[in-house]
Amino acid sequence: MFQMNTDKKRILSVVFSFRNEDSVLQELINRVENVFKKLVYDYELIFVNDDSEDKSLEILEKNRKRNNQIKIINMSRRFGVSACVIAGFKHAIGDAVIYMDSDLQDPPELMPDLIKKWEEGNDVVHTIRTKRKGENVIRMFLVKIAYKVIDVLSDIKIRQNSGNFQLISRRALKAILTLNEYDPLLRGLSSWIGFRQA
């Protein structure tokens, strides 16, 4: 678990937490693989299965047979997104880890932009959501209030509309994992740990 990459070629780990995403998983895999065809990095794709009841696991196992960079972690029951992401982080061997939701609300084609910011020396690279499919005005208003409450009541300053789609360097990841948080607010924790951020 939690090994360091000792090869010369740098590795990027991409962690996905999912539950019942069989309608989008194949497209997600295809798009992520296409992104990495254009990059100079080795990679691993870590899919953490939060007790799916559809054909998600079947799709992943079929793809793993043709691409050994695909890793699958099966949770023993439904634990929720944060616990699954932490499980994926613990298994990641990359020099940096990208986390993104598996529902394709965030385009994998933006990964090179995150990687560029990391190459410039940033340890945490956040993304800002401009719009998410299916979110109504009331939900967006409540999210805005939640950010304000977190800002007022805690030391954590989360960027307004920041998403879960982010890149975390190996040293920032170590800092997150040493905190031993079971169910963290990931975008808050990655902001709270410090380090250079973009």
Q: Where are the domains of the chain?
A: 11-129+163-192
The secondary structure of 60-85 as a DSSP string is HHHHHHH-TTEEEEE-SS---HHHHH
Contact by Cβ (8 Å): 161, 128: yes
Q: pLDDT for 55-83, tens place per residue?
A: 999 999 999 999 999 999 999 999 999 89
pTM of the complete model: 0.80
Which of 127, 129, 161 shows the shortest CA–CA distance to 144? 161
Per-residue model confidence (pLDDT) at position 164? 79
- Is domain 11-129+163-192 given the CATH code 3.40.50.150 in the classification? no
The secondary structure of 110-161 as a DSSP string is GHHHHHHHHHTT-SEEEEE-S--TT--HHHHHHHHHHHHHHHHHSS--PPTT
Return d(Cα 94, Cα 79) in angstroms, integer.
Answer: 24
Q: Computed from CA positions of residues 23, 126, 112, 41, in that sequence, does the dihedral angle turn out positive or negative?
A: negative
Per-residue model confidence (pLDDT) at position 149? 61
Below-70 pLDDT ranges, the chain: 1-7, 129-163, 181-198
Q: How far is CA 19 from the centre of its chain?
A: 14
Return d(Cα 108, Cα 112) in angstroms, integer.
Answer: 9
Contact by Cβ (8 Å): 28, 106: no
């209030």: which residue's tokens?
145
Q: pLDDT for 31-54, tens place per residue?
A: 999 999 999 999 999 999 999 999
Per-residue model confidence (pLDDT) at position 193? 57
